[in-house]
Amino acid sequence: MTSHRRPKQPNRTRVTVLTTAAAAAVALSANAADATPRQRLGKDEVEAKVAKLYEQAEQATEKYNGANEKQQKLQKEISAVQDSVARGQQELNTLRDALGALATTQYRSGGIDPSVQLLLSSDPDHFLARASTLDQLGSRQADALRKIQGRQRQLAQERAEATEKLKALATTRTELGNRKREVQGKLAEAQKLLNTLTAKERSALAAEQRRADRSSAERVGIGRQTPASGRAAAAFSAARSQIGKPYVRGATGPSSYDCSGLTSWAYAQADVSIPRTSEAQSGIGTRLTRSQLQVGDLVFFFNDLHHVGLYAGNGQILHAPRTGTVVRYESMDTIGGPFMFGVRV
């Protein structure tokens, strides 16, 4: 006889226990895999990765500098427009006060002339559009009305200009914040890598850096070749006086510099104003090949021109390299990126 009894269902508690056990087994397996020691990067690998991060940080720094310069320019322009608006409003108020005084005088004399009522209208453009109205005005009153009309239009344009500049300023400030976070992120990532080194490896890296700085300071013969010009000589001399000062993002001296901060400061000491960023500096003066370079010429590196220094002669440049370094001499062949061209200011 065939049995019609339902098969016995597994105990719910037992299923839960089995499921939990299986999950625990998977977790233990995953943890065991994670526990496998990862191969630690060697000193040379860390150094290469850190150098790349510092290069990316410098790229972001130059973009930060550009946004900062744009912000300062916009702030000056907005201030100028707002001052002009304030002066224009004061002038407009004076013109209206004069018309108001005329209306008061006429009122006391028995009533306000229709032409004066027109002058006090909040919408003089509407009435000026009616040529017949001008015939009712005296020349003095017509001139006053035209002045009010012109000042109102000018103020409207200036206010619109100020509004647009304020929008651009807000956008630029957002970009500035993004660039700053990008730089900080790259530097933090580089520091994290450096922290994986042993104390002995970190000491060796620091010693290499000190040797590079000391070697730079000992190159006393550099810069004695013929300078590009008197102002190039003055700029180079100023930059040379800053050897040993630290690289700091966004700094323009006199206690610290970034790459374009050093070059713009140096030329300022020669009474020559050049743009703030490396990209903008690359667009001034006369462009040069490597064989045409003379002491004091600007030299640009990397495809996006994010690094700049001053040519020092004998294939050397004087520059502020990157975070963790100081203003120093260095061979053009060890910058880490290709030489693009020079510029004679």
What amino acid positions are annotated as catalytic residues?
A: 259, 307, 319
Q: In whole angstroms, what is the distance from residue 260 CA to residue 277 CA?
A: 6
Note whether 245 and 204 are within 8 A (CB). no
Could you report how far apart the first and last alpha carbons of the chain are, in Å? Answer: 109
Q: In whole angstroms, what is the distance from residue 99 CA to residue 102 CA?
A: 5
Q: In whole angstroms, what is the distance from residue 45 CA to residue 55 CA?
A: 15
Q: From the centroid of its chain, how far is CA 284?
A: 19
H/E element holding 11?
A: none
Note whether 153 and 92 are within 8 A (CB). no
Q: 207 to each of 156, 213, 336, how far by Cα in Å?
A: 64, 10, 20
